[in-house]
Structure 1
Amino acid sequence: MIKIPETLVEQMIRQANEELPNECCGILAGKAAEGIIEIVEIYPMTNIDHSPEHFSLDPKEQLEVYKSVRERGLKVLGNYHSHPATPSRPSREDIRLAFDPAAVYMILSLMTNPPVLKAFHIENGDYREIPMQVI
Structure 2
Amino acid sequence: MLTITRALHDQIVAHAREDHPDEACGVVAGPAGTGRPERFIPMLNAARSPTFYEFDSGDLLKLYREMDDRDEEPVVVYHSHTATEAYPSRTDVSYAGEPGAHYVLVSTADTDGAGPFQFRSFRIVDGEITEEDVRIVDAY
Measured against the shorter chain, the TM-score band is: 0.7 to 0.9
Are 1:15 and 2:15 counterparts? yes
Query: 2:127 maps to which residue?
Result: 125
Say whether the 8 Å CA contact 1:23–1:82 is kept in structure 2: yes
Q: How does 1:81-120 map to 2 (within 5 A)?
A: 81-111=79-109, 113-120=115-122
**Tell me, what secondary structure is at the counterpart of 1:65?**
helix
Segments of 5+ residues of structure 1 without an aligned counterpart are none
When residues 63 and 32 of structure 1 are mapped into structure 2, their CA distance, relative to the original with a 3 A threshold, is: closer
Supply the distance in 1 between the matched residues of 2:78 and 2:84 (Cα, whole angstroms). Answer: 15
- Count of residues in Structure 1 that have an aligned counterpart in Structure 2: 133
TM-score by length of 1: 0.85
Contact 2:26 2:79 (8 Å CA) reproduced: yes
Query: Which residue number in structure 2 is paired with residue 26 of structure 1?
Result: 26
Measure how far apart 1:115 and its partner are.
0.8
Alpha-carbon offset, residue 75 of structure 1: 1.8
| 1:68-87 correspondence runs (5 A) | 68-87=66-85
Distance in 2 separating the partners of 1:73 and 1:133: 25
Structure 2 residue ranges without an equivalent (≥5):
none
**Change beyond 3 A, Cα 1:96–1:66:** closer
Q: What's the C-alpha RMSD, in Å, of the aligned pairs? A: 1.9
* Partners of 1:29 and 1:42 within 8 A in 2: yes
Q: Which amino acid aligns with 1:62?
A: L
Aligned to 1:3: 3
Q: Report sequence identity in percent.
A: 32
Higher strand content, 1 or 2 = 1
Normalised to the residue count of structure 2, the TM-score between the two structures is 0.83
